A and B are shown apart, each in its own frame.
Chain A
Amino acid sequence: MMFRIARSREGGSISHYDLYKVDIKKGMTVLDALFQIQDRMDPSLSFRYSCRGAVCGSCSILINKEPRLACRTQIADVRKSDMKLKHFAAISETPPGWNPDVEILVEPLPNMPILKDLVVDMTKFYNALESLKLWSDTEDGDTPRTQSPDDRKRIKRYVNCILCALCFGSCPVNAEKEEYIGPAALAKAWRFHEDSRTPDPDRYLKDASKPEGTPLCDLVMNCVKVCPKDVAPGGAIRKLKNP
């Protein structure tokens, strides 16, 4: 199988694409292929990785124009995938020469500055956690709070977020508006708002409603389609808009 991989040795923008012929075995993932390339063909290829089991959120990239975790993507399934995303430049414009019938296209996650090859600068994504103060303000105590199973169920979907930033990379608004906080952070704000244990739930609502927050979301729902953990950030944003 041929892989066409975006390269950027200096960072900034994709400078060119390199072609690699990868030896495929059954059950192999795109992350396995990237390692085969780094190990056997080109040690200069840079990409992030850690758990290889779809829980750490390191290896978010664009595969055949769809934002995905490399470790969770079986090579055999890539070609038949269609997430039906709403298009914007980074996911609709294809590089010249790419033949989707015989090549898998791998590019860095859109909407973040490229640092080197498939490694992007996630500073802005992470900074939203701090600017929205996405943590619990509860003081230390000696007794655990109670929470009914039903109350826990209300936050279950949102606590599953692994902060992989696939939603951020899939969002047409993030592509256009640099100030937009993005889906993951807003979903996390909803998670704290909805948590029956939160002492001041309105604080999260207020912070999320800042001009660079929920007002910018057009409810495109690409974030829901790409989320590997079924968090459905767009659903949370819809609720944040009409609490």
Chain B
Amino acid sequence: MTISTFDHDVLVVGAGLSGLRVAIELSEKFDVAIVTKVHPLRSHSVSAQGGINASLGEDDSWEAHAFDTVKGSDYLADQDVVEILAKEAPRAVIENECWGTAFSRTDDGKIAQRPFGGAAFPRTCYAADRTGHNLLHTTFEQTLRKGIKFYNEWYVTSLVKSKNRICGLTALEIATGEVHGFTAKAVVLATGGFGRVYGHSTNALINTGDGCALALRVGAPLKDMEFVQFHPTCLFGSSILITEGARGEGGYLVNANGERFMDKYAPEKMELAPRDIVARAIRTEVLEGRGFENEYVHLDLRHLRKEKILERLPGIREICINFAGVDPIDEPIPVQPAQHYSMGGVHTDCFGVTPVKGLFAVGETSCMSVHGANRLGGNSLLETLVFGRIVGKKAGEYTESVEQPDSSYVGQQTFEMRERLQKLLLHEGGNSPVDIRETMGQTMDVLVGVYRKSDALEAALKMIRELKKRFENVSVGRSDEKFNYALVRTLELENMLELAEVITMGALMRRESRGAHWRLDYPERDDTNFLKHSLFTKVEDYIRTELIDVNLGKFEVKERTY
């Protein structure tokens, strides 16, 4: 029996901005390869619209950026990590500009910056409302320039660990249906967020939290998983994102009575309060009967006029026309909150190092924690590029310091994974993954959403555990070996069920309201007991939870008002 294995120094899982930036950093000195379940340009970074923060302005400073980020995080972000983010931001933006990103410009040719939620300055650099698209295409071009090796359309099925370190991974080649092993000294997880745990999400359909689930299974802890960002303005129906930039450019939020209601919730910042606050405001308006069709409110851009909409928000206009039949030049946009971002993720330090030797995580997959309880708009693209570089460097240092791992662990686990998938494919007459996925999405939407309370969370936890049981008897259905997406989606579902359970456990355990996590039964922030990160570790067949300290710093913990 022979099972082919591939050998590299470092494997990066995921080819969004984080993964690409890590690989670029490593490519000069190391044999690095990217394993990704979609072609890099199909990664979710491409969907980011509004922009990337950097204190380029003369009146602005990294300290102001850091303060806004820490306050936005409801003081849960680790301030040492935020400092790195804010200090390195101009460098990351300039680097990408030099690589060719077509940023929008001011009249004197500088990179244009727009106001964004929770920010004291217009700090968000943008390329119209297609910033992620521009950054991703540019960064991908540079990986081609550097000749980086890609395994496109390979789905990682497990990480391989010896007693004390990561040795590689196993992956399904989607094109053939074959499982192969990969040996590497280090593995960097850069698989993005887990938005699709929710039924209503702005995320791409591929955002299933694979990296977090892979990490959890090899004993790496997850952190702050209960902090799920709900973006306030998502297109009613499809939940496609309508950028915060629309409000940054001056858009109004209006309820069914025609009132600009944000004055009740954030009198100073109005529509440009941070996302958690605006999302709750919209939900409250709808719950109290001032929504349209009891579902949504209006985002009105009409007063910005045609020229500005065409210049600054062309993508938004296109989305509204194509997916809602609404032209924002003439009509308000129907919007409602939907899951958008995962503040939680794989527990790492500010270098992306996890407690499992040889395993790193970066970007939305990781929780360093730079966003704390609520991420500010414009900071996620920034996180990918700043920490992609830093984590790449660190993974390189690690790679130089260790021997090649024993590939027999990889061979053995590849053999086992093959058997497992074959058994799964041969199992007929079991439960439908589709039903399980839909029930999971509805459960999370309704019971673990913007507003949470203990009885709902307990009901959710019970349902998710029931779904996990049902999954044990799941049938993928009859298909072919080649491009078996029904199989891939079933494996993704398995990952999401793990994460749904952890998110809900975290939400139940955190008996306070902070940032994006709002408990109706505990509506106050409780710094005495919960100015802490939550940590979730898989120990045999249960999840151990604990609280660890936040790295506080120069910004004093205060009440958070806007």
Contact = CB atoms under 8 A, between A and B. Distances in A.
Interface stretch (B72-80, B158-166, B478-486): B478-486
A133 B144 CA distance: 8
Contact of A159 (B39, B47, B127, B240): B127
Nearest to B152: A126
Given A136-B100, A146-B109, A152-B105, A130 B205 contact: no
B486 A140 contact: no
A47 B488 CA distance: 12
B524 to A, nearest CB: 37
B480 A116 contact: yes
B141 A46 contact: no
29 contacts: A27-B323, A44-B479, A44-B480, A46-B480, A46-B485, A49-B205, A50-B43, A50-B44, A50-B204, A52-B205, A53-B241, A53-B323, A54-B322, A55-B133, A55-B315, A56-B44, A56-B46, A58-B38, A115-B482, A135-B99, A135-B141, A138-B99, A139-B98, A144-B98, A146-B108, A146-B110, A152-B105, A159-B102, A192-B100
Interface residues of B, number: 61
Interface of A: 9, 11, 27, 38-40, 43-44, 46-58, 72, 74, 115-117, 119, 122, 126, 129-130, 133-149, 151-152, 155-156, 159-160, 162-163, 192, 195, 197
B393 to A, nearest CB: 15
Given A55-B133, A159-B134, A149 B237 contact: no
B138 interface: yes
A44 B486 contact: yes
A31 B476 CA distance: 20
B34 to A, nearest CB: 14
A162 B41 contact: yes
A33 to B, nearest CB: 14
B97 interface: yes
A112 to B, nearest CB: 13
Contact of B95 (A48, A116, A140, A197): A140
A53 B47 contact: yes
B100 A55 contact: no
A163 B41 contact: yes
B130 interface: yes
B111 interface: yes
Nearest to A161: B137
B367 to A, nearest CB: 24
A4 B537 CA distance: 48
Given A53-B323, A130-B144, A159-B134, 5 more contacts: A50-B44, A116-B480, A119-B483, A136-B99, A162-B46
A115 B205 contact: no
B94 interface: yes
Contacts of B477: 43-44
Contacts of A130: 144
Nearest to A9: B480
Nearest to A51: B204
Interface in B100-137: 100, 102-111, 127-128, 130, 133-134, 137
A142 B205 contact: no
Contacts of B39: 58, 122, 126
Q: Give chain A's interface secondary structure class.
A: loop
Given A144-B94, A145-B97, A50 B479 contact: no
A129 B46 CA distance: 18
Interface in B446-489: 476-480, 482-486
B29 interface: no
A156 B314 CA distance: 11
A162 B45 CA distance: 13
Contacts of B38: 48, 50, 56, 58
A95 B185 CA distance: 52
Interface in B34-53: 38-39, 41-44, 46-47
Interface in B357-405: none
A50 to B, nearest CB: 4
A145 B241 CA distance: 31
B93 interface: yes
**9 nearest CB pairs, A to B:** A146-B109, A136-B100, A43-B477, A43-B486, A135-B141, A46-B483, A44-B479, A116-B483, A50-B42
B44 to A, nearest CB: 7
Nearest to B236: A27
A216 B417 CA distance: 48
Given A51-B44, A139-B98, A144 B110 contact: yes
B123 to A, nearest CB: 15
B239 to A, nearest CB: 9
A148 B105 contact: yes
Contact of A141 (B94, B138, B205): B94
A145 B107 contact: no
Contact of A55 (B46, B106, B111, B476): B46
Contacts of B128: 156
Contact of A53 (B103, B206, B238): B238
Contacts of A27: 237-238, 323-324
Contacts of B94: 141-144
B3 interface: no
B142 interface: yes
A40 B204 CA distance: 21
B109 A138 contact: no
B318 interface: yes
A18 to B, nearest CB: 13
Contacts of B130: 55, 160
B557 interface: no
Nearest to B322: A72
B251 to A, nearest CB: 19
Contact of B41 (A38, A57, A138): A57
